[in-house]
Amino acid sequence: MSRLRADVTACPTEDGMVLLDERNGRYWQLNATGALAVQALLDGATPEHVADQLTRTRPVSRERAAADVAALVDQLTRANLVSAS
């Protein structure tokens, strides 16, 4: 995942981030950890790097962090919120 679709807006919130799909008006609310992961991915980090960052800053195992990042990328991809690299 390198970028959001042009018609998807990311807005930081007090508790994380909201992604708005302007094509259909749907939005996705991300908690602080999800927002950190998405922002890092948008900034060019690999999913592996994001998982490493999460294990340093959150009480989570490396395996769980990697699985969670992969699941997040999969969900964003299936929701058609990201552009192909």
Confidence of residue 2 (pLDDT cuts 50, 70, 90): confident
Helix (H) or strand (E) holding 17: strand 16-21
The confidence score (pLDDT) of residue 85 equals 55
The confidence score (pLDDT) of residue 84 equals 66
The confidence score (pLDDT) of residue 83 equals 85
**Domain spans in the chain, listed from the N-terminal domain onward:** 3-83
CATH number of 3-83: 1.10.10
Distance CA 56, CA 73 (A): 20
pLDDT by residue (tens digit) across 31-78? Answer: 999 999 999 999 999 999 999 999 999 999 999 999 999 999 999 999
